Structure 1
Amino acid sequence: MELKDQVVLVTGSSRGLGAAVAKAFGRVGAKVVVNYVSREAQANAVVDEIGREQAIAIQADVRNREEVKAMFEEAKAHFGQSITTIVNNALIDFSFNGDARKQLDTIEWEDYNQQFEGSVKATLNTLQAGRPDMAAAKFGRIITIGTNLVQHPVVPYHDYNTSKAALLGMTRNIAKELGPDGITANMVSGGLLLKTDASAATPDVVFDIIKENTPIGSVTTPEEMADAILFFASPWSRAVTGQNLIVDGGLVMN
């Protein structure tokens, strides 16, 4: 299915990477569901930039199964077409600040659980809501957002990194089970992005170090990550599933 014919849900897309991804899909003509929890004004600003005829903002906490189900139903009623493509991007209450991170002797299970719910549970909710229509259409694209810290935990964010490792395993299981239904599942893993709300607390010196140690000599932007995400939704990736593409300018080579 061409990108222009898809209905794309981007979770947590009122700001940061999610907003960049939503706008990127909008530019290629896709219909876009801009999901948010509390930032209604920002979500509507993203919709306005894409165009009201092409995008809609829908509030839903992706950790809540019933809210997710209602979001899918609202999107289908609005566009007259079911969601074909899910970008599981939402990040729950996390800031990339290595100096302030919880270390192993202070971190609690609840910290892990919060990130597992934001990554794994949220993906389960969106997938269970979207799978029936995708299977009926024999087409679906699931794209999860990971991190290069799984391969190279230069900063051991124990809760965040572990949840993303679990999400990678989940992505590959999804790919195996849903392949016969024409549904692919892949992960796009970035490094620290320049610059989002989540990375705003990161000292500038860290970005300088990344730039110096990256082959292409730059820090990846949300817009560059969005390009890779579009690839996994496009016809060019039709034979690719269960993969994890690291998009960080070559900082981590896998």
Structure 2
Amino acid sequence: MKKQGTVLVTGGSRGLGAVIAKQFGEKGYQVIVNYFKSEQKASQVVEGIGKDHAVAIKADVRDKQQVEMMVEKAVKQFGPIDIIVNNALINFEFNPLTQGKVEDLTWENYNEQLEGTIQSSLNTIQAVLPEMKKNQYGRVINIGTNLFQNPVVPYHQYTTAKAALIGFTRNMAKELGAYNITVNMVSGGLLEKTDASAVTTPEVFEMIAASSALNRVTEPADLAEVVVFLGSESSRGVTGQNIVVDSGLTMN
């Protein structure tokens, strides 16, 4: 069994994904930085980790064929993928002013987020599953949100897709546990700051800090460290869980 190996981070070129990719790199993992549009930022992440230990590969993770091609390229360079971090965020920003009201929502709004969250995660798992089963080892970490527990702002389509992700996670954990593959979810609060939360006003962050048990806003590094733990051999007894990292804003 590998304590360290190769990790695929979807949406790894910016925001939380970039922080996760860098932390895995610092721990000695080989990192595949997936990106869709942000090629320059993906290259910067790779340079920060080191080109001997990281590679940027473009793929729309909603597209099964593109994901399979990405995995094929990654395996040729680094060997089998041991860890998947499903982090990609498709066409969404945390802006309460632009969030559609109930009467304006369409099924297409929901479907876009369901494809970006559930379909993309299914694609990555299916692409690496044969090797994980063969090696009897794997770690899958899905990135969720605390908003489905406490929807401070009703980001309807985003939150609904992430709520579906916990069901997806636990079903995968149940089936894949027989192959020593763990599947977990890590849910952050509003992070200060990522590309998606760049439009959030200081007043909102102040309100969140005042409401949290630790009296602080969660940073991307806080969540990334938990993701790295779940990717390690030390997490071997943890599967089917949703770990909330939000400074105690919500409590299970």
Q: Same fold (TM over 0.5)?
A: yes
Show the counterpart of 2:168: 170
Q: Distance in 1 between matches of 2:192 and 2:201?
A: 12
What's the TM-score, normalizing by structure 2?
A: 0.98
Q: Could you tell me which of 155, 178, 181 is aligned with 1:180?
A: 178
Deviation for aligned residue 1:235: 1.6
2:236 maps to 238
The structure 2 residue matched to 1:224, chosen from 195, 198, 222, is 222
Structure 1: 5+ residue runs without aligned partners?
Answer: none
In the other structure, the counterpart of 2:46 is 47
3-state secondary structure, aligned to 2:28: coil
Which structure 2 residues correspond to residues 65-144 of structure 1 after superposition, within 5 A?
65-79=64-78, 81-144=79-142
1:34 to 1:107, Cα distance in 2 relative to 1, 3 A: same
2 CA distance for matches of 1:201 and 1:108? Answer: 24
1:155 to partner: Cα distance = 1.1
1:30 aligns to what?
29
The residue type equivalent to 1:62 in the other structure is V
State the TM-score, normalized to the length of structure 1. 0.98
Match for 2:194 among 193, 196, 215? Answer: 196
Distance in 1 separating the partners of 2:129 and 2:101: 38
Q: Which runs of 5+ in 2 are unaligned?
A: none
Residues paired across the two proteins, number? 252
Superposition deviation, residue 16 in structure 1:
0.1
Q: How well do the aligned residues superpose, as a CA RMSD in angstroms? A: 0.8
Q: Does 1:205 align with 2:199?
A: no
Query: Which string of whole-angstrom CA distances, capped at 9 and with x for unpartnered residues, describes residues 123-172 of structure 1?
Result: 01001001100000000000000000011111111100000011110000
Structure-1 separation of matches of 2:55 and 2:44: 11
Q: Deviations over 1:75-106 (max 9, x none)?
A: 00011x11110000000010101222111111
Q: Work out the CA distance in 2 between the residues paired with 1:59 and 1:147.
A: 25
Give, in whole Å, the separation in 2 of the partners of 1:2 and 1:152. 37
In 2, the alpha carbon distance for the partners of 1:88 and 1:170 equals: 12
Query: Distance in 1 between the 2:189 and 2:97 partners?
Result: 17
